[in-house]
Structure 1
Amino acid sequence: MSTVVPATRSSTASDTRSFADDEAPIVASEPGDRLRYALERPGQADVDAIVLVETATSQLFDLEHHRPARALIPTVGRHLDDISALLAGTRRESLRRRLAVAGGQAAALAGWLAFDRGDATRAHRNWDSALAAAKYAADGPLLACVLTYLSYSSAERGDPATAWQLAHSAVAHAGSDARARSWMAARAAEEAALLGERRAALAELDLAMQLGSALIQPAPEDDTAPWTRFFYRATLAAMAANVHGRLGSIQSARDAAGWALRTVGTEQIKSRAVIMAEVACAFARAGEVEPAIEAAHYAVDLVERLEVTLARRRLRGLVPVLAVYSTSAPVRELLARLTFE
């Protein structure tokens, strides 16, 4: 879904593509690198093209909910190319800021897709570009988004202290968006809990609950920030189950998992895979094997269809918990699926 630039006197689709091609020997090879280059090289574009770019960027975040990363990465890369060409062709500062934000959002998404594919190097290159765009446009919510994505990367590297700091800092930059701030506070709570910082984890989780316990699932046409549309009360409940589980509060984790199940909905999307994986973990720790198996199978189905890396990691944590029940045929069947070979 590469952005199509409307035919106007100042900018055409063919002009956009030829500009990018002409600059290929000068601009770095990654789309995110080209975005950073374009931030420093103004020219001209028009409002109609920018509106189209902003709409397409939002739509790409919506596609990410139900499309595997490997299938979406080329489309996002082309979209970043188009934004970079437009940005390099724009002189008006107000329009450049809007393009910078759209480009930063697309780079943030490209980084997340790369992270989901296990390519940390490419993820961080894109996130560096997104941070540059956030700085250029003085856009706090975009900065907060990237910091939160980086928190997942730090956690993956085995650095929960940095992950906690990044997510905690993100809350302060997210502005008034309750959905974004709730997600970021819940992320901070997860990493504080992993460090055994009980008081801090519960304080972060309390803030997340205050902000997000009544959130409904957003619609594509509303004004929700595109990178937060996956997050609503069911996602928060699943993250709360993770926090309580990490703190050893088994009954609280089980209660949060029950809340997640009551509010999760039926959409075949990536966030539901993560939610069901957390539910399965909470039930398994509480010794409720049958609902754990049911939730886990549902999560595995979505993981296999949509390649949800976060859910896959959570499900692998079920293996040692369920191993004690391996005399059960249903448990053995599930354990065989959790290898993800």
Structure 2
Amino acid sequence: MRAHSCRSCGTSPALDAAAGLCAGCARAAGFRQPLPPAFFTTVAMRNALSDHDFGVVFTAIREHTGLSQMQLASLLDLTQARVSEVESGARRLTGAKLAARISGVFAIPAQLLGFYVETTVDQPGNLATEEVDWVDRRDFITLATAAALGSRLHPELDRLLSFLPAHTDPITRPRIGAADVDAIEAISDGFRRWDLAHGGGLCRTAALSQLHQVVALDDAVCAPQVRGRLQVATAELASMAGWLAYDVEDHDTARRLWTYGLGTAQRADDHPRSSDLMVVILLDMAHQALHLHKPKDALAFAQLATATATSRRYPVSTITAGYISAVTAWCWAMLGEPDPTRRALTAARDQYSKATLDTTPPWAWFVTDAEIAAQQGHSLHLLSLTRPEYAGPAIAQLSAAVGAHPDEHARSRAVVLPTLAVSYFQADDTDSAVRTGHDAVTAVTTLSSERCYARLRDLDAVAARHQRAAGVVELRADIATALAASR
């Protein structure tokens, strides 16, 4: 809570609407009148604060109080020239500490500036934060947006590194070169191949350990061209570690790692691959939100990915554009909207058909025809949950994916099989559903992927509605045995 005494003289009662100053000190500071009640909660102010447009905020404050640029600058410990640049639009203020200072001086509700606020009876709207579960926190989309925009407004971006999970004592080196970055990229590629073959359970701890070793290189001496590659490689490793955590249902860790990776990739603005990586991380966040049955949040991440793809210095690759459309289709499908789903699916097919090897990011090699068929089939499957007429087309795409995934992509195949079985149930083909369901159990139980077991639980819930059909009781017993063993 703001102190009741004037922050200047410390004796007279303070006026919150006058920068925490008493009436006399406020007049001396240049206030002709205090700010009107609820000044910052008007539509215009909410929009400006949400956009971090302090030029609009400063101008409005001065118009209502009579403060000069020099007087406003003095209150905020800025220069008059900087206030002038902000008001004219020539400069933006994005630092978390400065935003917190402005919030404190003028009693701006912190949540309007994008800060996470843990309120109490005694401290409404303060800037205090605590470590909370990142899956449940209401401001996670705001946090991801701040990371994608490169704004340090959200205070947790500045301190995220201090609570990345599984911290180890790093081994630092004073100088690194291109060969070191090659090694980091090879490490990420190795984890990706392991995940596709076996799931994330057996290597996520190793990925976290590797990430902390790599993060320690952030301040190492290196050539400028190596610096950009290092940042992208670090962000990719964080992204991969986040995906491994997600695959074993450690959603809190996944979000922290993805947010760190997103912020690190954003710093590599000069590297042409940073745009692709930022977008892919945002789409992974959307993927997770869908898995957690939060389609509106997922659509917000997909839309942020679209905005990021069109606002960066370098354009995203064609294959990444295709992935944006594919994930957007999933979002609309889970929301039960067939028309925007079909449009997004068409866009994804068109974009994927134009992708070439020379424009594909090195980490997108696994986006094969089988993966594309699985993406298309998943959208149709989600639509079929409310519109059974889409079950047939879903079966065609998902069957193609299952048949085309190579042995080294066993996890990718296993995650599709339960969905294919559900689609068979939706199409009233119980025999095929039961047969595919048993195949799914066999495939999933050979892996260390909790996400695949979650798909088995979804299959079981659908199978329960067909309990009287031949073979369903046995299938559910098979699923129950597998789930019990996994626990």
For residues 244-266 of structure 1, the C-alpha deviation after alignment (integer angstroms, 9 at most, x for no partner) is: 23331233223333433453444
| Structure number having the greater helix percentage | 1
Q: Which residue of the partner structure matches residue 22 of structure 1?
A: none
Residue 59 of structure 1 aligns with an amino acid whose one-letter code is: G
In structure 2, the residue matched to 1:148 is 283
Identify which of structures 1 and 2 has the higher relative contact order when contacts are C-alpha pairs closer than 8 Å and 6+ apart: 1
For residue 474 of structure 2, what is the amino acid of its counterpart? E
C-alpha distance after superposition, 1:239-286 (max 9, x if no partner): 323322333123322333343345344445211112222222222211
Aligned to 1:228: 364
Query: What's the CA shift string for 1:72-104, capped at 9, x where partnerless?
Result: 112212221232233322243321211111110
Q: SS state of the match for residue 152, structure 1?
A: helix
1:185 aligns with 2:325: yes
> 1:126/1:224 Cα in 2 relative to 1: closer, same or farther (>3 Å)?
same
1:106 aligns with 2:237: yes
One of 199, 207, 215 as aligned partner of 2:339: 199
1:334 counterpart (458, 471, 475): 475
Change (3 A) 1:250 1:117: closer
- Name the counterpart of 1:30: 164
Q: Which moved more, 1:57-66 or 1:261-270?
A: 261-270
**1:132-187 superposed Cα distances (whole Å, 9 cap, x missing partner):** 11111021111011101111232244321120231244356564533333233211
Q: 1:140 to 1:261 in 2, by over 3 A?
A: same
Q: Structure 1 residues 226 and 114 mapped into 2: Cα distance closer, same or farther (>3 Å)? A: farther
Q: Quote the offset at 1:226 in angstroms.
A: 5.2
Find the counterpart in structure 2 of residue 71 from structure 1: 202
Q: Deviations over 1:197-218 (max 9, x none)?
A: 22211111111122336989x9
Identical amino acids, percent of aligned pairs: 25
User: What residue in structure 2 maps to residue 260 of structure 1?
Assistant: 401
| Matching residue within 61, 80, 93 for 2:211 | 80
Letter aligned with residue 267 of structure 2: Y
Are residues 256 and 156 of structure 1, via their aligned partners in 2, closer, same or farther at CA, if it must alter by over 3 Å? closer
Pick the aligned partner of 1:167 from 283, 286, 302. Answer: 302
User: Shift in Å at residue 287 of structure 1?
Assistant: 1.4
Q: CA deviation at 1:52?
A: 1.9
Contact 1:42–1:88, Cα closer than 8 Å, also in 2: no
CA distance, structure 2, for counterparts of residue 32 and residue 187 of structure 1:
30
Determine whether 1:127 maps to 2:258: yes
CA distance change for structure 1 residues 155 and 51 in 2, over 3 Å: closer, same or farther? same
Is the 1:234–1:263 Cα contact (8 Å) retained in structure 2? yes
Distance 2:179 2:377 in 1: 45
Shift of 1:227: 4.4
Superposition deviation, residue 189 in structure 1: 0.6
Tell me the distance in 2 between the aligned counterparts of 1:264 and 1:281.
19
Contact kept? 1:61, 1:226, Cα under 8 Å: no
- With 205-214 and 278-287 compared, the bigger mean Cα shift is at 205-214
Please tell me whether residue 59 in structure 1 is matched to residue 190 in structure 2: yes
Aligned-partner residue type, residue 251 of structure 1: G
> Counterparts of 1:316-331 in structure 2 under 5 Å?
316-328=457-469, 330-331=471-472
Flag the 1:320–1:50 CA change in 2: closer, same or farther, 3 A: closer
1:44 positional shift: 2.8
Consecutive unaligned residues of structure 2, counting only runs of 5 or more, are 1-160, 310-314
Q: Structure 1 residue 122: deviation in Å?
A: 1.5
How far apart are residue 127 of structure 1 and its match? 1.2
8 Å CA contact 1:114, 1:123 repeated in 2: yes
- For the 8 Å contact 1:44–1:92, the answer to whether it is kept is no
How many residue pairs get aligned? The number is 307
Aligned match of 1:239: 375
Q: Tell me if structure 1 keeps the 8 A contact 2:318–2:351.
A: yes
Q: For 2:239 and 2:469, how far apart are their aligned partners in 1?
A: 44
Residues in 1 aligned to 2:304 and 2:163: alpha-carbon distance in whole angstroms:
31
Counterparts in 2 of 1:88 and 1:299: CA distance versus 1, 3 Å: farther
Per the alignment, residue 48 of structure 1 pairs with: 179
The reply on whether 1:271 has 2:382 as its aligned counterpart is no
- Letter aligned with residue 234 of structure 1: A
The 1:192/1:42 distance shift into structure 2, 3 A limit, reads farther
2-structure distance, mates of 1:125, 1:33: 13
Q: Verify the 8 A CA contact 1:212 1:233 in the aligned structure 2.
A: no
Mapped pair 1:115 → 2:246 = yes
Change over 3 Å in CA distance of 1:57–1:318 after alignment to 2: closer
Query: Which structure: larger Rg?
Result: 2
* Cα gap change, 1:126 to 1:320, in 2 (>3 Å): closer
Distance (whole Å) between structure 1 residues aligned to residue 407 and residue 213 of structure 2 = 35
Letter matched to residue 203 of structure 1: R
Give the residue type in structure 1 aligned to 2:348. A
Question: Taking structure 1 as the reference length, what is the TM-score of the superposition?
Answer: 0.78
How far is 1:32 from its partner? Answer: 9.0
In structure 2, the CA distance between the partners of 1:105 and 1:268, relative to structure 1 (3 Å rule), is closer
| Equivalent pair of 2:204/2:241 in contact (CA under 8 Å) | yes
What is the rounded CA distance, in whole Å, between the counterparts of 2:285 and 2:293 in structure 1? 13
